[in-house]
Amino acid sequence: ENAKLEPGALAEYYRSQFSGLEGVTETFAVMDPAKGNELVRLERLGAEETRVAVSRASQAFKHEWNMSKVTAQARYDALLRWEKLIRDNAKDLSKLVTLENGKPIGEAAVEVAGGADSVAWFAEEARRIDGDVLQGAKRRQRVMVLKQPVGVVGAITPWNFPFSMITRKIGPALAAGCTVVVKPSEETPLSAIALTYLAHEAGFPKGSVQTVCGDAKAIGEELTSSRDVRKIGFTGSTAVGKLLMAQAANSVKRISLELGGNAPFIVFEDADLDRAAQALLGSGLRNAGQTCICADKVLVHDSVHDAFAAKLSEKMAKMRLGHGLDRETTHGPLINQRALAKVESHVKDAVEGGANLVLGGERVKPDDMDGFFYAPTLITDVKLDMSCFREENFGPVLSLYRFHTDEEALEVANDSEYGLAAYFYTSSMRRSWTVSEGLEYGMVGCNDVAVTGVTTPFGGWKQSGLGCEHSKYGIDEFLEKKAVFMTI
Ligand code: ADP
Protein backbone atom coordinates (compact mmCIF):
# COMPACT_ATOMS: atom_id res chain seq x y z
CA GLU A 1 0.00 0.00 0.00
CA ASN A 2 1.13 3.51 -0.81
CA ALA A 3 0.74 5.68 2.30
CA LYS A 4 0.86 8.78 0.09
CA LEU A 5 -2.53 7.80 -1.33
CA GLU A 6 -4.36 7.67 2.01
CA PRO A 7 -7.05 10.35 2.39
CA GLY A 8 -5.09 12.16 5.13
CA ALA A 9 -1.88 12.24 3.12
CA LEU A 10 -3.74 13.48 0.06
CA ALA A 11 -5.31 16.27 2.08
CA GLU A 12 -1.80 17.22 3.14
CA TYR A 13 -0.61 17.21 -0.47
CA TYR A 14 -3.53 19.37 -1.53
CA ARG A 15 -2.71 21.84 1.25
CA SER A 16 0.97 21.91 0.35
CA GLN A 17 0.15 23.13 -3.18
CA PHE A 18 -1.06 26.37 -1.68
CA SER A 19 1.58 27.45 0.76
CA GLY A 20 1.23 31.15 1.34
CA LEU A 21 -2.55 30.86 1.53
CA GLU A 22 -2.79 29.73 5.13
CA GLY A 23 -5.51 32.33 5.50
CA VAL A 24 -8.04 29.79 4.25
CA THR A 25 -9.79 28.62 7.38
CA GLU A 26 -13.02 27.21 6.02
CA THR A 27 -13.06 23.49 5.32
CA PHE A 28 -15.50 20.97 3.90
CA ALA A 29 -15.96 17.27 4.53
CA VAL A 30 -15.38 14.46 2.06
CA MET A 31 -17.83 11.70 2.96
CA ASP A 32 -18.12 7.95 2.56
CA PRO A 33 -21.61 7.79 1.00
CA ALA A 34 -22.16 4.22 2.21
CA LYS A 35 -21.50 4.77 5.88
CA GLY A 36 -22.40 8.42 5.86
CA ASN A 37 -19.23 9.34 7.81
CA GLU A 38 -16.45 11.81 7.16
CA LEU A 39 -13.28 10.58 5.43
CA VAL A 40 -11.27 13.77 5.65
CA ARG A 41 -11.67 17.55 5.57
CA LEU A 42 -10.21 19.82 2.90
CA GLU A 43 -9.70 23.57 2.71
CA ARG A 44 -12.53 25.26 0.89
CA LEU A 45 -10.74 27.20 -1.83
CA GLY A 46 -12.31 29.98 -3.84
CA ALA A 47 -11.64 32.70 -6.40
CA GLU A 48 -8.34 33.89 -4.93
CA GLU A 49 -6.69 30.45 -4.89
CA THR A 50 -8.02 29.76 -8.36
CA ARG A 51 -6.42 32.96 -9.60
CA VAL A 52 -3.10 31.82 -8.15
CA ALA A 53 -3.47 28.39 -9.76
CA VAL A 54 -4.32 29.91 -13.14
CA SER A 55 -1.37 32.22 -12.98
CA ARG A 56 0.95 29.28 -12.21
CA ALA A 57 -0.62 27.29 -15.04
CA SER A 58 -0.04 30.24 -17.30
CA GLN A 59 3.61 30.46 -16.28
CA ALA A 60 4.03 26.72 -16.84
CA PHE A 61 2.48 27.07 -20.29
CA LYS A 62 4.98 29.82 -21.12
CA HIS A 63 8.01 28.09 -19.63
CA GLU A 64 8.34 24.53 -18.26
CA TRP A 65 5.54 23.01 -20.38
CA ASN A 66 6.03 25.20 -23.42
CA MET A 67 5.72 23.42 -26.73
CA SER A 68 8.84 25.06 -28.11
CA LYS A 69 10.85 23.38 -25.35
CA VAL A 70 8.97 20.20 -24.60
CA THR A 71 8.98 17.87 -27.57
CA ALA A 72 6.15 15.54 -28.50
CA GLN A 73 8.39 12.67 -27.46
CA ALA A 74 8.89 14.24 -24.02
CA ARG A 75 5.13 14.66 -23.57
CA TYR A 76 4.64 11.05 -24.63
CA ASP A 77 7.29 9.86 -22.16
CA ALA A 78 5.81 11.85 -19.28
CA LEU A 79 2.30 10.56 -20.00
CA LEU A 80 3.55 6.97 -20.09
CA ARG A 81 5.34 7.47 -16.76
CA TRP A 82 2.06 8.77 -15.34
CA GLU A 83 0.18 5.81 -16.79
CA LYS A 84 2.65 3.42 -15.18
CA LEU A 85 2.27 5.05 -11.77
CA ILE A 86 -1.51 4.75 -12.12
CA ARG A 87 -1.26 1.06 -12.97
CA ASP A 88 1.29 0.39 -10.21
CA ASN A 89 -1.01 2.05 -7.65
CA ALA A 90 -4.28 0.78 -9.13
CA LYS A 91 -5.34 -1.04 -5.98
CA ASP A 92 -5.03 2.00 -3.73
CA LEU A 93 -6.61 4.26 -6.32
CA SER A 94 -9.59 1.92 -6.75
CA LYS A 95 -10.10 1.87 -3.01
CA LEU A 96 -10.08 5.65 -2.97
CA VAL A 97 -12.73 5.77 -5.70
CA THR A 98 -14.92 3.36 -3.75
CA LEU A 99 -14.45 5.22 -0.50
CA GLU A 100 -15.49 8.60 -1.81
CA ASN A 101 -17.96 7.55 -4.49
CA GLY A 102 -19.47 4.35 -3.05
CA LYS A 103 -19.27 2.18 -6.18
CA PRO A 104 -18.34 -1.49 -5.78
CA ILE A 105 -14.58 -2.06 -5.81
CA GLY A 106 -14.76 -4.08 -9.04
CA GLU A 107 -16.37 -1.12 -10.83
CA ALA A 108 -13.77 1.20 -9.30
CA ALA A 109 -10.97 -1.02 -10.62
CA VAL A 110 -12.49 -0.88 -14.10
CA GLU A 111 -12.67 2.89 -13.85
CA VAL A 112 -9.03 3.20 -12.79
CA ALA A 113 -7.86 0.86 -15.57
CA GLY A 114 -9.95 2.89 -18.03
CA GLY A 115 -8.29 6.06 -16.77
CA ALA A 116 -4.87 4.56 -17.39
CA ASP A 117 -5.97 3.51 -20.88
CA SER A 118 -6.99 7.08 -21.55
CA VAL A 119 -3.59 8.41 -20.54
CA ALA A 120 -1.87 5.81 -22.74
CA TRP A 121 -4.12 6.71 -25.69
CA PHE A 122 -3.35 10.40 -25.42
CA ALA A 123 0.35 9.70 -24.94
CA GLU A 124 0.22 8.17 -28.41
CA GLU A 125 -1.84 11.07 -29.73
CA ALA A 126 0.82 13.51 -28.49
CA ARG A 127 3.08 12.17 -31.24
CA ARG A 128 0.43 12.43 -33.91
CA ILE A 129 -0.31 16.14 -33.81
CA ASP A 130 0.41 16.70 -37.45
CA GLY A 131 0.03 19.85 -39.47
CA ASP A 132 -0.57 20.27 -43.19
CA VAL A 133 0.92 21.93 -46.22
CA LEU A 134 -1.67 23.61 -48.46
CA GLN A 135 -1.69 25.33 -51.84
CA GLY A 136 -1.36 29.10 -51.79
CA ALA A 137 -3.57 31.40 -53.84
CA LYS A 138 -0.55 32.99 -55.52
CA ARG A 139 2.20 31.36 -57.53
CA ARG A 140 4.91 32.15 -55.04
CA GLN A 141 2.86 31.47 -51.96
CA ARG A 142 2.93 28.38 -49.76
CA VAL A 143 0.70 27.76 -46.75
CA MET A 144 1.19 25.57 -43.72
CA VAL A 145 -1.31 24.68 -41.05
CA LEU A 146 0.24 24.37 -37.61
CA LYS A 147 -1.58 22.89 -34.65
CA GLN A 148 -0.79 24.47 -31.33
CA PRO A 149 -2.08 23.97 -27.79
CA VAL A 150 -4.98 26.26 -26.82
CA GLY A 151 -3.32 27.27 -23.56
CA VAL A 152 -4.50 26.99 -19.98
CA VAL A 153 -7.48 24.67 -19.58
CA GLY A 154 -10.01 24.78 -16.77
CA ALA A 155 -11.45 21.28 -16.23
CA ILE A 156 -14.56 20.89 -14.11
CA THR A 157 -15.57 17.31 -13.35
CA PRO A 158 -18.34 15.39 -11.59
CA TRP A 159 -18.40 12.80 -8.81
CA ASN A 160 -19.80 9.78 -10.67
CA PHE A 161 -16.44 8.89 -12.25
CA PRO A 162 -14.05 10.71 -9.91
CA PHE A 163 -11.03 9.19 -11.60
CA SER A 164 -11.68 8.67 -15.29
CA MET A 165 -13.36 12.03 -15.83
CA ILE A 166 -10.08 13.62 -14.82
CA THR A 167 -7.82 11.49 -17.01
CA ARG A 168 -9.95 11.99 -20.10
CA LYS A 169 -9.53 15.75 -19.72
CA ILE A 170 -6.03 16.15 -18.32
CA GLY A 171 -4.66 13.40 -20.58
CA PRO A 172 -5.42 15.13 -23.90
CA ALA A 173 -4.69 18.59 -22.46
CA LEU A 174 -1.16 17.64 -21.42
CA ALA A 175 -0.65 15.63 -24.60
CA ALA A 176 -1.54 18.69 -26.65
CA GLY A 177 0.86 20.83 -24.63
CA CYS A 178 -1.75 22.66 -22.54
CA THR A 179 -1.63 23.14 -18.79
CA VAL A 180 -4.63 22.44 -16.57
CA VAL A 181 -6.41 23.65 -13.46
CA VAL A 182 -8.81 20.92 -12.36
CA LYS A 183 -11.85 21.51 -10.23
CA PRO A 184 -13.21 18.12 -9.24
CA SER A 185 -16.53 17.68 -7.53
CA GLU A 186 -16.40 18.50 -3.82
CA GLU A 187 -18.07 15.11 -3.25
CA THR A 188 -15.05 13.25 -4.68
CA PRO A 189 -11.88 15.35 -4.73
CA LEU A 190 -9.49 12.67 -3.45
CA SER A 191 -9.09 10.79 -6.73
CA ALA A 192 -8.29 14.09 -8.46
CA ILE A 193 -5.70 15.01 -5.85
CA ALA A 194 -4.18 11.52 -6.13
CA LEU A 195 -3.93 11.92 -9.90
CA THR A 196 -2.36 15.34 -9.52
CA TYR A 197 0.16 13.96 -7.06
CA LEU A 198 1.04 11.06 -9.38
CA ALA A 199 1.34 13.43 -12.34
CA HIS A 200 3.88 15.48 -10.41
CA GLU A 201 5.70 12.27 -9.45
CA ALA A 202 5.76 11.38 -13.14
CA GLY A 203 7.61 14.60 -13.80
CA PHE A 204 4.95 17.00 -14.98
CA PRO A 205 5.81 20.50 -13.75
CA LYS A 206 3.77 21.46 -10.68
CA GLY A 207 2.12 24.33 -12.50
CA SER A 208 1.00 22.14 -15.37
CA VAL A 209 -1.56 20.21 -13.30
CA GLN A 210 -3.23 21.63 -10.22
CA THR A 211 -6.36 20.83 -8.26
CA VAL A 212 -8.63 23.40 -6.63
CA CYS A 213 -11.98 22.76 -5.04
CA GLY A 214 -14.31 24.20 -2.44
CA ASP A 215 -16.58 27.00 -3.58
CA ALA A 216 -17.69 25.62 -6.95
CA LYS A 217 -19.48 28.78 -8.04
CA ALA A 218 -16.57 31.10 -7.21
CA ILE A 219 -14.01 28.78 -8.81
CA GLY A 220 -16.20 28.40 -11.90
CA GLU A 221 -16.59 32.15 -12.23
CA GLU A 222 -12.87 32.68 -11.91
CA LEU A 223 -12.01 30.00 -14.47
CA THR A 224 -14.59 31.22 -16.97
CA SER A 225 -13.78 34.91 -16.59
CA SER A 226 -9.98 34.66 -16.52
CA ARG A 227 -8.42 35.83 -19.77
CA ASP A 228 -5.56 33.42 -19.22
CA VAL A 229 -7.84 30.38 -19.33
CA ARG A 230 -8.42 29.58 -23.00
CA LYS A 231 -10.65 26.57 -22.70
CA ILE A 232 -13.19 25.03 -20.38
CA GLY A 233 -13.76 21.28 -20.35
CA PHE A 234 -16.79 20.31 -18.32
CA THR A 235 -18.65 17.12 -17.46
CA GLY A 236 -21.75 17.45 -15.33
CA SER A 237 -25.34 18.54 -15.34
CA THR A 238 -26.93 20.33 -18.29
CA ALA A 239 -27.92 23.23 -16.03
CA VAL A 240 -24.35 23.94 -14.89
CA GLY A 241 -23.06 23.33 -18.43
CA LYS A 242 -25.34 26.05 -19.77
CA LEU A 243 -24.24 28.41 -17.03
CA LEU A 244 -20.56 27.82 -17.78
CA MET A 245 -21.17 28.26 -21.49
CA ALA A 246 -22.86 31.59 -20.85
CA GLN A 247 -20.07 32.70 -18.52
CA ALA A 248 -17.39 31.61 -20.99
CA ALA A 249 -19.07 33.55 -23.79
CA ASN A 250 -17.77 36.82 -22.45
CA SER A 251 -14.19 35.93 -23.33
CA VAL A 252 -15.14 33.58 -26.22
CA LYS A 253 -13.45 30.59 -24.69
CA ARG A 254 -13.30 27.24 -26.32
CA ILE A 255 -15.65 24.93 -24.50
CA SER A 256 -16.34 21.20 -24.43
CA LEU A 257 -19.39 19.94 -22.58
CA GLU A 258 -20.38 16.44 -21.60
CA LEU A 259 -23.80 16.89 -20.06
CA GLY A 260 -26.79 14.89 -18.95
CA GLY A 261 -28.46 12.04 -20.75
CA ASN A 262 -31.65 10.05 -20.42
CA ALA A 263 -30.73 7.04 -22.48
CA PRO A 264 -33.53 5.12 -24.15
CA PHE A 265 -33.26 1.34 -24.27
CA ILE A 266 -35.59 -0.23 -26.84
CA VAL A 267 -36.51 -3.90 -26.79
CA PHE A 268 -38.09 -4.92 -30.11
CA GLU A 269 -40.28 -8.00 -30.36
CA ASP A 270 -37.52 -9.95 -32.12
CA ALA A 271 -34.89 -9.22 -29.44
CA ASP A 272 -32.99 -11.88 -27.54
CA LEU A 273 -34.69 -11.12 -24.23
CA ASP A 274 -32.08 -12.73 -21.99
CA ARG A 275 -29.25 -10.80 -23.56
CA ALA A 276 -31.28 -7.62 -23.52
CA ALA A 277 -32.20 -8.03 -19.85
CA GLN A 278 -28.62 -8.73 -18.85
CA ALA A 279 -27.38 -5.73 -20.81
CA LEU A 280 -30.07 -3.43 -19.45
CA LEU A 281 -29.22 -4.28 -15.86
CA GLY A 282 -25.52 -3.81 -16.54
CA SER A 283 -26.02 -0.44 -18.16
CA GLY A 284 -29.01 0.90 -16.23
CA LEU A 285 -27.84 0.04 -12.73
CA ARG A 286 -24.11 0.58 -13.18
CA ASN A 287 -22.77 2.80 -10.42
CA ALA A 288 -26.28 2.54 -8.87
CA GLY A 289 -27.69 4.18 -12.01
CA GLN A 290 -25.42 7.18 -11.70
CA THR A 291 -23.76 7.41 -15.09
CA CYS A 292 -24.76 9.81 -17.82
CA ILE A 293 -25.08 6.94 -20.31
CA CYS A 294 -27.10 4.65 -18.01
CA ALA A 295 -30.08 3.12 -19.82
CA ASP A 296 -32.90 5.04 -18.22
CA LYS A 297 -36.13 5.04 -20.21
CA VAL A 298 -36.94 1.52 -21.30
CA LEU A 299 -39.27 0.96 -24.24
CA VAL A 300 -40.53 -2.60 -24.60
CA HIS A 301 -42.71 -3.98 -27.37
CA ASP A 302 -46.14 -4.90 -26.08
CA SER A 303 -45.83 -8.55 -27.15
CA VAL A 304 -42.70 -9.17 -25.04
CA HIS A 305 -43.26 -6.62 -22.30
CA ASP A 306 -44.45 -8.95 -19.55
CA ALA A 307 -41.90 -11.66 -20.21
CA PHE A 308 -39.14 -9.06 -20.25
CA ALA A 309 -40.29 -7.43 -17.00
CA ALA A 310 -40.35 -10.86 -15.33
CA LYS A 311 -36.76 -11.54 -16.37
CA LEU A 312 -35.66 -8.18 -15.00
CA SER A 313 -37.36 -8.52 -11.66
CA GLU A 314 -35.99 -12.00 -11.14
CA LYS A 315 -32.43 -10.79 -11.67
CA MET A 316 -32.92 -7.56 -9.72
CA ALA A 317 -34.18 -9.40 -6.65
CA LYS A 318 -30.76 -11.08 -6.39
CA MET A 319 -28.75 -7.87 -6.28
CA ARG A 320 -26.83 -7.22 -3.12
CA LEU A 321 -26.53 -3.71 -1.79
CA GLY A 322 -23.65 -2.95 0.52
CA HIS A 323 -20.39 -1.16 1.09
CA GLY A 324 -18.32 -1.00 -2.08
CA LEU A 325 -15.28 -2.46 -0.35
CA ASP A 326 -17.25 -5.61 0.50
CA ARG A 327 -16.57 -8.07 -2.33
CA GLU A 328 -20.12 -9.46 -2.14
CA THR A 329 -21.62 -6.09 -2.96
CA THR A 330 -23.13 -5.76 -6.40
CA HIS A 331 -24.53 -2.26 -5.91
CA GLY A 332 -23.48 0.65 -3.73
CA PRO A 333 -25.25 3.74 -2.42
CA LEU A 334 -26.24 6.96 -4.13
CA ILE A 335 -23.85 9.84 -3.71
CA ASN A 336 -25.78 12.02 -1.29
CA GLN A 337 -29.10 13.01 0.24
CA ARG A 338 -30.02 15.22 -2.72
CA ALA A 339 -29.63 12.29 -5.12
CA LEU A 340 -31.74 10.12 -2.87
CA ALA A 341 -34.47 12.74 -2.64
CA LYS A 342 -34.63 13.07 -6.43
CA VAL A 343 -35.03 9.34 -6.95
CA GLU A 344 -37.68 9.16 -4.21
CA SER A 345 -39.67 11.95 -5.80
CA HIS A 346 -39.52 10.34 -9.27
CA VAL A 347 -40.80 7.04 -7.92
CA LYS A 348 -43.51 8.69 -5.84
CA ASP A 349 -44.69 10.66 -8.84
CA ALA A 350 -44.89 7.47 -10.93
CA VAL A 351 -46.75 5.45 -8.33
CA GLU A 352 -49.23 8.26 -7.68
CA GLY A 353 -49.75 8.62 -11.41
CA GLY A 354 -50.85 4.99 -11.70
CA ALA A 355 -47.65 3.20 -12.76
CA ASN A 356 -47.01 -0.28 -11.46
CA LEU A 357 -44.23 -0.64 -8.88
CA VAL A 358 -42.92 -4.18 -9.38
CA LEU A 359 -39.86 -4.12 -7.15
CA GLY A 360 -38.03 -1.80 -4.77
CA GLY A 361 -39.28 1.74 -4.39
CA GLU A 362 -37.76 2.41 -1.01
CA ARG A 363 -34.70 3.52 0.86
CA VAL A 364 -32.79 0.69 2.54
CA LYS A 365 -30.05 0.29 5.15
CA PRO A 366 -27.87 -2.73 4.29
CA ASP A 367 -25.73 -3.88 7.22
CA ASP A 368 -27.23 -1.02 9.25
CA MET A 369 -25.25 1.56 7.30
CA ASP A 370 -26.51 5.12 7.37
CA GLY A 371 -25.55 5.98 3.82
CA PHE A 372 -27.71 6.82 0.84
CA PHE A 373 -28.91 3.42 -0.33
CA TYR A 374 -31.96 2.97 -2.52
CA ALA A 375 -33.35 -0.44 -3.51
CA PRO A 376 -33.09 -1.50 -7.18
CA THR A 377 -36.48 -0.46 -8.49
CA LEU A 378 -38.61 -1.65 -11.39
CA ILE A 379 -41.64 0.30 -12.55
CA THR A 380 -43.86 -0.77 -15.43
CA ASP A 381 -46.70 0.85 -17.35
CA VAL A 382 -45.21 4.30 -16.99
CA LYS A 383 -46.74 7.18 -18.90
CA LEU A 384 -44.69 9.37 -21.17
CA ASP A 385 -44.96 12.49 -19.05
CA MET A 386 -43.79 10.88 -15.81
CA SER A 387 -40.59 12.34 -14.38
CA CYS A 388 -38.98 8.90 -13.95
CA PHE A 389 -39.25 8.49 -17.73
CA ARG A 390 -38.76 12.01 -19.06
CA GLU A 391 -35.97 13.17 -16.79
CA GLU A 392 -32.54 11.88 -16.07
CA ASN A 393 -33.09 9.73 -13.01
CA PHE A 394 -29.53 9.01 -11.79
CA GLY A 395 -30.67 6.20 -9.53
CA PRO A 396 -31.23 2.43 -9.61
CA VAL A 397 -34.63 2.79 -11.23
CA LEU A 398 -35.79 1.19 -14.48
CA SER A 399 -39.02 2.53 -15.97
CA LEU A 400 -40.75 0.42 -18.61
CA TYR A 401 -43.02 1.86 -21.28
CA ARG A 402 -45.08 -0.38 -23.55
CA PHE A 403 -44.89 0.46 -27.27
CA HIS A 404 -46.66 -1.00 -30.31
CA THR A 405 -44.87 0.11 -33.49
CA ASP A 406 -41.31 0.91 -34.56
CA GLU A 407 -42.34 4.43 -35.47
CA GLU A 408 -43.73 5.00 -32.01
CA ALA A 409 -40.57 3.62 -30.37
CA LEU A 410 -38.30 5.90 -32.37
CA GLU A 411 -40.49 8.92 -31.79
CA VAL A 412 -40.61 8.36 -28.02
CA ALA A 413 -36.87 7.66 -27.91
CA ASN A 414 -36.08 10.91 -29.72
CA ASP A 415 -38.62 13.03 -27.86
CA SER A 416 -36.04 14.41 -25.46
CA GLU A 417 -33.82 17.43 -24.99
CA TYR A 418 -31.00 14.95 -24.42
CA GLY A 419 -29.01 13.08 -27.04
CA LEU A 420 -26.15 11.24 -25.38
CA ALA A 421 -26.50 7.45 -25.60
CA ALA A 422 -29.26 5.14 -26.84
CA TYR A 423 -29.53 1.36 -27.02
CA PHE A 424 -31.75 -1.13 -28.78
CA TYR A 425 -32.07 -4.88 -29.12
CA THR A 426 -33.30 -6.61 -32.25
CA SER A 427 -32.38 -9.53 -34.47
CA SER A 428 -33.38 -7.77 -37.67
CA MET A 429 -30.69 -6.48 -40.00
CA ARG A 430 -33.02 -3.85 -41.41
CA ARG A 431 -33.92 -2.50 -37.97
CA SER A 432 -30.28 -2.49 -36.91
CA TRP A 433 -29.63 0.06 -39.64
CA THR A 434 -32.81 2.08 -39.69
CA VAL A 435 -32.98 2.53 -35.94
CA SER A 436 -29.25 3.32 -35.67
CA GLU A 437 -29.72 6.00 -38.29
CA GLY A 438 -32.95 7.29 -36.80
CA LEU A 439 -31.79 7.80 -33.22
CA GLU A 440 -30.73 11.37 -32.46
CA TYR A 441 -27.92 10.38 -30.14
CA GLY A 442 -24.12 10.62 -30.08
CA MET A 443 -23.57 6.97 -29.13
CA VAL A 444 -25.83 4.14 -30.22
CA GLY A 445 -25.63 0.55 -29.02
CA CYS A 446 -27.27 -2.01 -31.31
CA ASN A 447 -27.39 -5.25 -29.33
CA ASP A 448 -24.67 -3.62 -27.28
CA VAL A 449 -24.32 -1.38 -24.25
CA ALA A 450 -20.53 -1.04 -24.11
CA VAL A 451 -20.36 2.26 -25.96
CA THR A 452 -17.30 3.79 -24.39
CA GLY A 453 -13.64 3.22 -25.09
CA VAL A 454 -10.53 5.20 -25.88
CA THR A 455 -10.69 4.51 -29.61
CA THR A 456 -14.25 5.83 -30.07
CA PRO A 457 -15.71 9.33 -29.79
CA PHE A 458 -17.77 10.08 -26.70
CA GLY A 459 -20.09 13.05 -26.92
CA GLY A 460 -23.70 14.09 -26.99
CA TRP A 461 -26.15 15.66 -29.42
CA LYS A 462 -28.70 18.33 -28.53
CA GLN A 463 -28.46 19.48 -24.90
CA SER A 464 -26.20 16.57 -23.97
CA GLY A 465 -23.08 18.39 -24.98
CA LEU A 466 -20.59 19.93 -27.33
CA GLY A 467 -17.44 18.34 -28.70
CA CYS A 468 -16.19 14.87 -27.97
CA GLU A 469 -13.67 13.05 -25.84
CA HIS A 470 -11.34 10.16 -26.73
CA SER A 471 -10.80 8.74 -30.23
CA LYS A 472 -8.71 10.33 -32.96
CA TYR A 473 -10.97 13.41 -32.74
CA GLY A 474 -10.52 14.04 -29.00
CA ILE A 475 -7.22 15.87 -29.02
CA ASP A 476 -8.48 18.48 -31.51
CA GLU A 477 -10.52 20.00 -28.69
CA PHE A 478 -7.23 21.12 -27.13
CA LEU A 479 -5.55 22.41 -30.28
CA GLU A 480 -5.79 25.62 -32.26
CA LYS A 481 -5.06 25.72 -35.97
CA LYS A 482 -2.81 28.38 -37.37
CA ALA A 483 -2.40 29.08 -41.07
CA VAL A 484 1.11 30.31 -41.91
CA PHE A 485 1.49 31.98 -45.33
CA MET A 486 4.89 32.25 -46.98
CA THR A 487 6.01 34.07 -50.03
CA ILE A 488 8.93 32.21 -51.50
P1 ADP B 1 -24.44 17.11 -10.06
O2 ADP B 1 -25.73 17.82 -9.83
O3 ADP B 1 -24.62 15.78 -10.63
O4 ADP B 1 -23.50 17.16 -8.90
P5 ADP B 1 -23.15 19.34 -11.27
O6 ADP B 1 -23.27 19.81 -12.66
O7 ADP B 1 -23.74 20.16 -10.20
O8 ADP B 1 -23.72 17.87 -11.26
O9 ADP B 1 -21.64 19.08 -10.91
C10 ADP B 1 -20.61 18.86 -11.84
C11 ADP B 1 -19.42 19.72 -11.48
O12 ADP B 1 -19.81 21.08 -11.64
C13 ADP B 1 -18.95 19.59 -10.05
O14 ADP B 1 -17.54 19.70 -10.01
C15 ADP B 1 -19.59 20.78 -9.38
O16 ADP B 1 -18.92 21.20 -8.22
C17 ADP B 1 -19.46 21.80 -10.48
N18 ADP B 1 -20.36 22.97 -10.33
C19 ADP B 1 -21.58 23.03 -9.78
N20 ADP B 1 -22.06 24.28 -9.84
C21 ADP B 1 -21.11 25.05 -10.45
C22 ADP B 1 -21.01 26.43 -10.81
N23 ADP B 1 -21.97 27.29 -10.56
N24 ADP B 1 -19.88 26.83 -11.43
C25 ADP B 1 -18.88 25.96 -11.69
N26 ADP B 1 -18.92 24.66 -11.38
C27 ADP B 1 -20.02 24.20 -10.76
CA of 221 to the centre of ligand 1 (A): 12
Indicate whether residue 211 lines ligand 1 (CB < 6 A). no
Angstrom distances, CA of residue 18 to CA of 51, 154, 191 = 12, 18, 18
CA distance 42 to 244: 24
CA of 439 to the centre of ligand 1 (A): 28
Beta bridge partners of 179: 152
**Type of residue at 219:** I
Indicate which atom in ligand 1 lies nearest the CA of residue 186: 16
Of 108, 33, 107, nearest to 323 by C-alpha is 33
- Which residue, by CA, sits nearest to atom 19 of ligand 1? 216
Indicate which atom in ligand 1 lies nearest the CA of residue 338: 2
CA distance 121 to 218: 33
> Which listed residue (258, 392, 469, 477) is catalytic?
258
- Which residue, by CA, sits nearest to atom 11 of ligand 1? 158
Q: Find the Cα–Cα–Cα–Cα dihedral 39, 42, 46, 48, rounded to 10°.
A: -160
Average pLDDT of 307-316?
Answer: 98
Indicate whether residue 186 lines ligand 1 (CB < 6 A). yes
Q: What is the pLDDT of residue 18?
A: 80
What band does 68 get if pLDDT is binned at 50, 70 and 90?
A: confident
Indicate whether residue 157 lines ligand 1 (CB < 6 A). yes
CA distance 158 to 34: 18
- Is 292 an annotated catalytic residue? yes
What band does 95 get if pLDDT is binned at 50, 70 and 90?
A: very high
CA distance 151 to 24: 28
Please write the tens of the pLDDT for every residue from 328-376: 999 999 999 999 999 999 999 999 999 999 999 999 999 999 999 999 9
Indicate whether residue 224 lines ligand 1 (CB < 6 A). no
Q: What is the pLDDT of residue 20?
A: 63
Of 23, 20, 24, nearest to 42 by C-alpha is 24
What band does 23 get if pLDDT is binned at 50, 70 and 90?
A: confident
The CA-to-CA distance between both ends of the chain, in Å, stands at 61
Contact 188, 162 (CB under 8 A): yes
Please write the tens of the pLDDT for every residue from 153-174: 999 999 999 999 999 999 999 9
Indicate which atom in ligand 1 lies nearest the CA of residue 235: 10
Contact 235, 394 (CB under 8 A): no
Of 310, 269, 216, nearest to 408 by C-alpha is 269
Let me know the angle formed at the C-alpha of 74 by 145 and 472, rounded to the nearest 5 degrees: 50
CA of 85 to the centre of ligand 1 (A): 29
For 353-446, list the strands marked E by DSSP.
356-359, 377-380, 397-403, 418-419, 421-425, 443-446
CA of 488 to the centre of ligand 1 (A): 52
CA distance 69 to 86: 26
> Which listed residue (292, 294, 388, 468) is catalytic?
292
CA of 213 to the centre of ligand 1 (A): 11
pTM listed for this prediction: 0.97
CA distance 212 to 401: 43
Indicate whether residue 165 lines ligand 1 (CB < 6 A). no
Indicate which atom in ligand 1 lies nearest the CA of residue 183: 14
Q: What is the pLDDT of residue 67?
A: 86
Phi, psi of 421 (to 5 degrees): -125, 150
CA of 429 to the centre of ligand 1 (A): 42
214: left (phi over 0), alpha (psi -120 to 50) or beta: left
Name the percent of the chain lying above pLDDT 90: 98
CA distance 487 to 82: 43
CA of 235 to the centre of ligand 1 (A): 8
- Is 258 an annotated catalytic residue? yes
- Which residue, by CA, sits nearest to atom 22 of ligand 1? 217
Indicate whether residue 240 lines ligand 1 (CB < 6 A). yes
Question: Does the predicted interface ipTM exceed a cut of 0.90?
Answer: yes
For 94-165, list the strands marked E by DSSP.
132-135, 141-149, 152-156
